Structure 1
């Protein structure tokens, strides 16, 4: 049986990575698709091959030309892309896979794989999102402002997703995502 693709989106700073990290520890037979990016690793936070595959812009553009990406986009001034081979291998083997990608990438993948399940993670409020972005301190002020501007735009698309999870309390958001995965697995039986 083919695996299910879950597309996980939400604005920067909403806690997507935290929710996924905790949920994936509790869910069997599901993997995380590591994206490629041209942005620099965040010291102490990013690990090559675990959080992202860090590529030069030249290498990224070469891979676009070769058709290596299921989707790619310019987000916050950097290129991000989902490797087609990772996703196809997981799905073909019957393993569920999660993509943590931005809104524009989510819509591209959904057109290519219409049976994908889309999940949008929202903050409890825009003020809380701004607080979280500033607290994490991994971006300069200009980058924070760009991410806040982009977050406002991304939040307008939340209702276009199959599911919306409000990440107010992390444990509740984790439980909600696990419930979504279990529901879809039951439907496929």
Structure 2
């Protein structure tokens, strides 16, 4: 043995993604509530904080210059632009957490999940799916009184996002928030034995 200090095996990164309106944030909030020991990555964003949001808890709020610097230094695992603002996952806190042998959870959009997979082939990608297409439509429609053209575009994007479920290692159906949270935590803490394709689908 080359050292008296036993090296910990880095834990596996778990990424949760899925279509808009499927309830990713709700499931992650339930994970935080029931399993406070689970570490959830805090995304960085260039948008302004909304009322009630706390810097470093909900997001790390950065200036455009700070975000540019992170990109230049390869300091983001993934990033994307939505509605004129940029969002990304700072790499350093995630790497530090995984190096201790403890699991880390990222809740990000599909585009970001693909970037993480390209950078880290060992990452476990979990797709959160609605119980049915009709359920997703009702959740998206219930978000406000948008013009029909906007709703149609939102549904078309959601359909394309749903079609991407085959790119993921495991599909978790969000038919019950508490059950979905339990299933996600069991995936987080399962020993890594390489990607397991095609989990529970319905």
Length-normalised TM-score, structure 1: 0.82
Q: 1:65 and 1:126 mapped to 2: Cα distance?
A: 40
Relative contact order (C-alpha < 8 Å, sep 6+): which is higher?
1
Residue in structure 1 matching 2:62, options 45, 55, 59:
55
Q: 2:50 and 2:116 mapped to 1: Cα distance?
A: 27
Partner of 1:11: 19
Q: 1:52 and 1:120 mapped to 2: Cα distance?
A: 22
Question: Offset at 1:136?
Answer: 4.7
**Structure 2 unaligned spans of 5+:** 1-7, 195-202
Q: SS where residue 156 of structure 1 aligns?
A: helix
Can you list the C-alpha shifts for 1:107-159, whole angstroms capped at 9, x where unaligned? Answer: 2112222111110111223342243234455x976876654443222111111
Q: SS where residue 131 of structure 2 aligns?
A: coil
Partner of 1:123: 130
| 2:178 paired with 1:171 | yes
Partner of 2:188: 181
Can you list the C-alpha shifts for 1:22-54, whole angstroms capped at 9, x where unaligned? Answer: 22444475301001122344444x332112122
Over 3 Å counting, the alpha-carbon distance change for 1:136 and 1:159 in structure 2 is same
Q: Which structure has the greater CA radius of gyration?
A: 2
Runs (4 or more) in structure 1 with deviation over 4 Å come to: 139-147
| 2:82 paired with 1:75 | yes
Question: Offset at 1:90?
Answer: 0.4
**Structure 1 unaligned spans of 5+:** none
Over 3 Å counting, the alpha-carbon distance change for 1:49 and 1:116 in structure 2 is same
Higher relative helix content: 1
Q: SS where residue 12 of structure 1 aligns?
A: coil
Q: 1:156 and 1:60 mapped to 2: Cα distance?
A: 31
Q: 1:145 and 1:40 mapped to 2: Cα distance?
A: 28
